[in-house]
Amino acid sequence: MKPIVKTYPVGQMGNNTYLFGDPESKQAVLIDPAFESSVVLPEIETEGWQLTHILLTHAHFDHTYGIYELSQALPSVPPIALHRCDKDLYESGGLGELMGLQRDPLPQPTIWLEEGTIIRVGSQVLLTRHCPGHTPGHVFFYSDAAKTAFVGDIIFLQGIGRTDLPGGSESVLLKNIAAHIFSLPAETHLLPGHGPATTVAKERAHNPFF
Q: What is the pLDDT of residues 100-128, one digit of tens each?
A: 676 677 899 999 999 999 999 999 999 99
Mean of the per-residue pLDDT values of the chain: 94
Q: pTM, whole model, 2 decimals? A: 0.96
Does residue 67 have a pLDDT over 80? yes
CA atoms within 13 A on the CB side of 4: 16
C-alpha span between 136 and 172 (Å, rounded): 10
- Average pLDDT of 37-45? 88
Domains and their CATH numbers in the chain: 4-206 (3.60.15.10)
pLDDT band at 92 (very low <50, low <70, confident <90, very high): confident
pLDDT in the model for residue 2: 95
C-alpha span between 204 and 210 (Å, rounded): 8
Q: Which of 7-16, 43-52, 96-105 has the lowest mean pLDDT?
A: 96-105
Does residue 200 have a pLDDT over 70? yes
Which H or E run includes 56?
none
Name residues whose C-beta falls within 8 Å of residue 115's C-beta, 6 or more positions apart in sequence.
128, 129, 130
The three-class DSSP label of residue 203 is: helix
pLDDT in the model for residue 204: 98
pLDDT band at 38 (very low <50, low <70, confident <90, very high): confident
C-alpha span between 152 and 140 (Å, rounded): 7
Buried b (16+ CB within 10 A) or exposed e, 80-111: bbbbebbbebbeebbbbeeeeeeeeebeebeb
The three-class DSSP label of residue 50 is: strand
pLDDT band at 198 (very low <50, low <70, confident <90, very high): very high
Share of the chain above pLDDT 90, in %: 81
**In terms of DSSP bridges, do strands 139-143 and 118-121 run parallel, antiparallel, or are they unpaired?**
unpaired
Buried b (16+ CB within 10 A) or exposed e, 191-202: bbbbeebbbbee
